[in-house]
């Protein structure tokens, strides 16, 4: 299968990008494409902009990435209990092409943050709303206290229990 993987963060040092990149090492029986949402930059969504200039090419490009994938792996960064503005903006533009943003694809959802909550709020938001956007969530996992549980030098989870849980959710793909 072809897996599209990305972090829902525009931070160059994104811990969710580190997590999703590590997670893809468990998917070596598949073809994985890791994309960076920074490569799909668009102005802040406005209906006025859309009326005047249409939907940006970058939104069509991202939607095509989803079309070409058999499954999707996302790791969500949490800002104030919610999506990052960068991901929400991308999502809003893509939803103007078709509200079925996830196009019926099976999905595994991850999240992490430096705190003990592990970005659980945004993960729940993404999981509970995916069906509105034709996403089929197979499994989800929040990794709490990122810096305690992940070794940034090796790019690996160092908490064996969380590592097993991660393997288990990825095995659902
Ligand atoms: C504006 C802002 C709001 C944040 N809100 C939360 C939050 O609600 N929950 C949380 O766990 N972390 C929060 N954080 C900390 C992020 O989890 C942290 O910056 C993390 O590195 C973001 O993920 P990323 O590195 O993948 O972008 C917030 C950070 C910022 C800058």
Q: What angle, 0 to 180 degrees and rounded to 10, lies between the N-to-C axes of helices 85-97 and 57-68?
A: 80
- Beta-carbon contacts of residue 31 (< 8 Å; ≥ 6 apart): 1, 2, 3
The verdict on the CB of residue 117 being under 6 Å from ligand 1 is yes
Report pLDDT for 46: 98
Measured from the Cα of 119, ligand 1's closest atom is 11
Q: What pLDDT is attached to residue 71?
A: 98
What is the Å distance from ligand 1's center to 58 Cα? 25
pTM for the whole structure: 0.98
The pick from 78, 87, 124 for probing ligand 1's pocket by mutation, whose C-beta has the most ligand atoms within 8 angstroms, reads 78
List the residue whose alpha carbon is closest to atom 8 of ligand 1. 80
121-148 tens-digit pLDDT? 999 999 999 999 999 999 999 999 999 9
Q: Tell the residue nearest (CA) to atom 19 of ligand 1.
A: 113
Residue 8 maps to which CATH number?
A: 3.40.50.360
Question: Tell me, what's the pLDDT at 169?
Answer: 98
Number of domains in the chain: 1
Task: Taking residues 41-63, report their average pLDDT.
Answer: 98
Atom of ligand 1 nearest to the CA of 8: 26
Q: How far apart are CA 68 and CA 58, in angstroms?
A: 15
- Full domain range(s) for residue 157: 2-170
């Amino acid at each position: 299968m072809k897996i599209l993987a990305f972090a829902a963060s525009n931070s160059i040092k994104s811990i969710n990008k580190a997590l999703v990149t590590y997670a893809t090492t468990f998917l070596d029986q598949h073809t994985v494409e890791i994309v960076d949402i920074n490569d799909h930059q668009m102005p802040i969504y406005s209906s006025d902009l859309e009326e005047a200039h249409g939907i940006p090419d970058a939104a069509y490009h991202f939607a095509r990435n989803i079309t070409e994938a058999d499954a999707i792996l996302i790791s969500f960064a949490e800002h104030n209990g919610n999506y990052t503005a960068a991901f929400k903006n991308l999502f809003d533009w893509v939803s103007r092409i078709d509200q079925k943003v996830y196009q019926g694809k099976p999905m595994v959802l991850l999240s992490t943050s430096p705190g003990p909550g592990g970005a659980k709020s945004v993960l729940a938001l993404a999981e509970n709303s995916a069906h509105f956007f034709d996403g089929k969530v197979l499994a989800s996992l929040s990794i709490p206290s990122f810096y305690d549980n992940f070794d940034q030098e090796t790019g690996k989870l160092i908490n064996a229990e969380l590592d097993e849980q991660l393997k288990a959710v990825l095995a659902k793909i």
